[in-house]
């Protein structure tokens, strides 16, 4: 069996006026958007933190500091491709991931497939390795009052199998 690692990510962003709502790289029409230094894609941030966590590589705050002007308005899908290349260089690949978005509004069901397509494309894996779900918290707490949106993600990474090295054929002296 391949060597595996599990990781968990959790993120929250505040909802605000005059901001775009981007989840899993999908721009979703809504009267409020997410506030943050980057594009505030809370789902993609949870996915990246899960991947980094699986390899004990810290969190996105260390890799992409919000004090760094290079990440102002950053496209989080671009940052995800960077994290993907990092885990690839370390010899790991996505086994699967499962994420849940906690949001009172808007309805996210029509956008879930596009989020999965975007994430699987950035991660270079199959659509069936990427699960995204959404739920409300029944008008309870900060997601219920539409103050913010939260996302959780767990990811399983698998060690890549190195290609078998062929030994050169031995020449047996006659
Ligand atoms: Mg974040």
Q: How much distance in Å is there from the Cα of 168 to the middle of ligand 1?
A: 51
Tell me whether residue 113 is in a domain: yes
Q: How much distance in Å is there from the Cα of 173 to the middle of ligand 1?
A: 66
Which pLDDT score, from 0 to 100, does residue 173 have? 72
Q: How much distance in Å is there from the Cα of 164 to the middle of ligand 1?
A: 40
Smallest CA-to-CA distance from 83 within 65, 112, 116, 59 is with 59
For the chain, the residue count is 174
Q: Which residues surround ligand 1, an ion (CB under 5 A)?
A: 11, 45
Alpha carbon distance 27, 41 (integer Å):
10
- Give the rounded percent of residues in the chain with a pLDDT score beyond 70: 96
Tell me whether residue 78 is in a domain: yes
Which pLDDT score, from 0 to 100, does residue 171 have? 75
Tell me whether residue 171 is in a domain: no
81-94: b (≥16 Cβ within 10 Å) or e: eebbebbeeeebbb
In this prediction, residue 126 has a pLDDT band, given cuts at 50, 70 and 90, of: very high
Q: How much distance in Å is there from the Cα of 14 to the middle of ligand 1?
A: 10
Q: Is the pLDDT of residue 169 over 90?
A: no
- How many domains, the chain? 1
Burial of residue 151 (number of CB atoms within 10 Å: 0-12, 13-18, 19+): buried
- Domain range enclosing 10: 4-159
In this prediction, residue 1 has a pLDDT band, given cuts at 50, 70 and 90, of: confident
Secondary structure (3-state) at 59: coil
Q: At what angle do helices 42-54 and 76-89 cross, to 10 degrees?
A: 10
Q: Which two tokens stand for residue 117?
A: 């397509």
Mean pLDDT in residue range 72-101: 96
In this prediction, residue 91 has a pLDDT band, given cuts at 50, 70 and 90, of: very high
Which pLDDT score, from 0 to 100, does residue 164 have? 63
Alpha carbon distance 84, 124 (integer Å):
8
Q: At what angle do helices 76-89 and 112-123 cross, to 10 degrees?
A: 40
In this prediction, residue 115 has a pLDDT band, given cuts at 50, 70 and 90, of: very high
Helix H segments across 101-153?
112-123, 141-144
Tell me whether residue 114 is in a domain: yes
Which pLDDT score, from 0 to 100, does residue 174 have? 67
Tell me whether residue 132 is in a domain: yes
8 Å CB contact between 83 and 55 = no
Higher pLDDT, 125 or 71: 125
Which pLDDT score, from 0 to 100, does residue 170 have? 75
Q: How much distance in Å is there from the Cα of 172 to the middle of ligand 1?
A: 63
CATH number reported for the structural domain that contains residue 24 in this entry:
3.30.1330.50
Tell me whether residue 174 is in a domain: no
Mean pLDDT in residue range 6-24: 98
């Amino acid at each position: 069996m391949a060597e595996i690692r599990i990781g968990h990510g959790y993120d929250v962003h505040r909802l605000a006026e005059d901001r775009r709502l981007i989840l899993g790289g999908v721009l979703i029409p809504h009267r409020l958007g997410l506030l943050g230094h980057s594009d505030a894609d809370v789902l993609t941030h949870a996915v990246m933190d899960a991947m980094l966590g699986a390899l004990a590589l810290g969190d996105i705050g260390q890799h992409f500091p919000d004090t760094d002007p290079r990440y102002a308005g950053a496209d989080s899908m671009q940052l995800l491709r960077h994290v993907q290349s990092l885990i690839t260089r370390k010899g790991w690949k996505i086994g699967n991931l499962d994420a849940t978005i906690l949001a009172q509004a808007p309805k996210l069901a029509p956008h879930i497939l596009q989020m999965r397509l975007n994430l699987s494309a950035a991660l270079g894996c199959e659509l069936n390795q990427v699960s995204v779900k959404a739920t409300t918290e029944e008008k309870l707490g900060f997601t219920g009052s539409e103050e913010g949106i939260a996302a959780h993600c767990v990811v399983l990474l698998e060690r890549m199998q190195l290609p078998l090295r062929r030994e050169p054929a031995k020449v047996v002296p006659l």
